Amino acid sequence: MNLLVTGAWSDAKENIEMLTRLGHSVVFLQQETDALPCSYDWVEGVICNGLFLTHPIERFSNLRYIQLTSAGFDRVPMDYVKAHRIEICNARGVYSIPMAEFAVGGVLQLYKQSRFFADNQTRHVWQKHRGLMELNGKTVCIVGCGSVGTECAKRFKAFGCEVLGVDLFPREDECYQAVLPLDRLDSVLEQSDVLVLTLPLTEQTRHLMNTERFSKMKQGSVLVNIARGAVVDTDALIEALNTTLFGAVLDVFEEEPLAQSSPMWDMENVILTPHNSFISDGNSERLEALILNGIKKLSLMTE
């Protein structure tokens, strides 16, 4: 297969020889926005992330295999992929562990008043805080029970939480007390202390969390968004942070980077990070294994 590999795979150059040994012809493109080092019709397979944002997929007339370095499919024209029966694989599972650790860590920072103590340490102030909380016994609702959601469920469960899942495809799963359909979300929100969003962004899930839904959330609850920013209505979130929510852990936003004028920068009850929750020292090894295993299976199928 003629493979175009981009710099979205940070270890690509170290693995080109392996891909060649597997019988593939490989060209490398560091920046996905640059001109291709080959003709579009030469390419039969790609390993990339946002390649099709600047290079229309229609120009790849012989494309039949896509391996993404991301877990989401939102940067790919999926209608075209399905219509042309192009095989596509995402990076499922690669980033789930660090994202789950981020979710738990963020809630713990809010519950344990980490900002208060960090500020006091900076000012050399010795002062106790009597309002610390614990995760044990709390109810956690995870919306989106895929790989990331399930890794979150495992970790919250280990802290003694009751974990409920909400998903388009309900199922029995030992990591959750129950996985309920999306139409049960409102009732679950009323009893949840922590809401974790890990679902993909679609037209159905855009602004899933809006003013009405925030009004149904339990007083003093925490929102964690490690999904996509547009799953949450920003204005509705800001209102909820000023009224009903104890706090929010936010790694994604409707507009990125977050505008300097956003009031969320200065909110004491917000932990804000720049789409960084997936970063980890373990990702490279997992991504390399996933890509090479996929390519090896593809090689066997085409022999």
Query: Look-up: residue for tokens 């003694």?
Result: 160
**Rg of the chain over CA atoms, in angstroms?**
22
Specify the DSSP class assigned to residue 285: H
Residues with catalytic function: 228, 256, 275
In angstroms, the CA 188 to CA 301 distance is 45
Report CA dihedral (53, 237, 241, 99) to the nearest 10 degrees. Answer: -40
DSSP 103-147: HHHHHHHHHTTHHHHHHHHHTT-----S----STT-EEEEE--SH
Nearest Cα residue to 45 out of 81, 95, 94: 81
Specify the DSSP class assigned to residue 35: P
Sign of the alpha-carbon dihedral angle for 63, 287, 106, 159: positive
Count of other CB atoms within 10 angstroms of residue 159: 16
